[in-house]
Amino acid sequence: MPTPFFYAMTEPAEKTLVANLVGQEHRGLAYGWYNCGDWHRHTAGQRRLWDRVQDVRPLAAFGSGAGLALAAAILLASLPMSPLSQSERGRG
């Protein structure tokens, strides 16, 4: 999947998550930290994946990435919902 397509499909949801996790007064700082972490994740992740593909089988490299993605999904699912999200959820 090309990187621009991936970011076009995932970034709005990620930014919404950041906005829902912090208050209005800290939103700019949260976006800054998010973008810093996103850059580090992107560059370091590509390097680690390339090293694993070269050292071991590609299936092991991509499988470890899938495992980390699953762990992140479980961690996000365990976060408590913000009061704003709970009130919006009841509106249906």
Tokens of 89: 């959820």
Locate the domains of the chain by residue range. Answer: 26-84
Tokens of 28: 């700019």
User: Exposed (0-12), middle (13-18) or buried (19+): which is 18, by Cβ within 10 Å?
Assistant: middle
Enter the pTM of the model: 0.44
Calpha distance 39→45 (Å, rounded): 10
HSE, side-chain direction, 13 A CA sphere, residue 33: 9
pLDDT at 58 over 80: no
- Mean pLDDT of the 58-83 span: 80
pLDDT tens, residue by residue, 19-42 = 888 888 888 888 888 888 877 777
Residue in 81, 82, 75 with CA at minimum distance from that of residue 24: 82
